[in-house]
Amino acid sequence: MRTLKGMRVAVLAADGFEQVELTRPVKRLEREGAQVTIVSLHKGRIRGMNLLVPGKKVRVDATLREVKAADFDALLLPGGFMNPDFLRQSALALDFVRDADLLDLPIAVICHGPWLLASAGLLEGRHLTSWPGIRNDLENAGAHWTDEPVVRDGNWVSSRGPHDLLAFEHAFVQLFAERMTPAIAQREATAPSWPKWVAGGLAAVATLGLVARGRKALA
């Protein structure tokens, strides 16, 4: 059973994300039926890392200038050394996670990902875990840090790193499933199920129609 069928999940990441902390959760989300969107600072592709070794690139589906937190039902924040550091320097990224939390979207965060939540001013009084190396940073930002594979606090679930991925995946699927609403299910039930080639053809026809009308207006 696909427990997250129709749920729209944003994966907010930048260059330097820890490869397995993005690819494995994304595969799990898609297996559960979620619609995953990779959101980043720029268009094109972003480079993953395997600790200190460059990994594969992942295609960006939308930039932070093109979408907002309200467009989604849940948020995933992978870690990596550089990824959250790039994101925490972006006003758009900080606003995105603040809005997601304000909307009470379920948020799954792992490894160094909580750095972004700290810079967004969201950690005061919250319970979470992370990569042990950033414990002091999170506690200094007001968080209650625990050395556990998974910590659940309201609409958040957090984990320490790649070695906890199995527990992390189980926990965020459970959290996201709890937030499935009749509106999400209804949206999925009423969405047209066109084959991709048909959808692409319809989009092309619509584009040609717009171009034709534009030329007529200019004539």
> pLDDT of 4-48, one tens digit each?
999 999 999 999 999 999 999 999 999 999 999 999 999 999 999
Domains and CATH numbers, the chain: 8-180 (3.40.50.880)
- Higher-confidence position of 217 and 90: 90
Q: What predicted TM-score, i.e. pTM, was given to this entire model?
A: 0.85
Mean pLDDT of 121-147: 98
- Judge whether residue 129 has pLDDT over 90: yes
Structure tokens at 138: 């999170």
- Closest by alpha carbon to 115, among 168, 67, 78? 78
9: which strand partners?
A: 36, 74
Q: Indicate the SS3 state at residue 73.
A: coil
* Catalytic positions: 112
Asked whether the beta carbons of 177 and 3 are under 8 A apart, the reply is: yes
Q: What is the pLDDT of residue 196?
A: 43
- Beta 53-59 vs 45-50: how paired, if at all? antiparallel
For residue 91, the model assigns a pLDDT of 98
Of 49-58, 101-110, 120-129, where does mean pLDDT reach its minimum?
A: 49-58
Least confident of 66-70, 148-152, 176-180: 176-180
SS3 120: coil
Crossing angle (nearest 10°) for helices 165-178 and 19-31: 40
Query: Which whole number is the average pLDDT over 78-100?
Result: 97
Higher-pLDDT residue of 179, 197: 179
pLDDT at 197 exceeding the cut of 80: no
Strands 144-145 and 150-153: unpaired
What residues contact residue 7 under an 8 Å CB cut-off, 6+ apart?
Answer: 33, 34, 35, 73, 74, 176, 180, 184
pLDDT of residue 8: 97
Identify the CA nearest to 21 among candidates 156, 119, 180, 159: 159
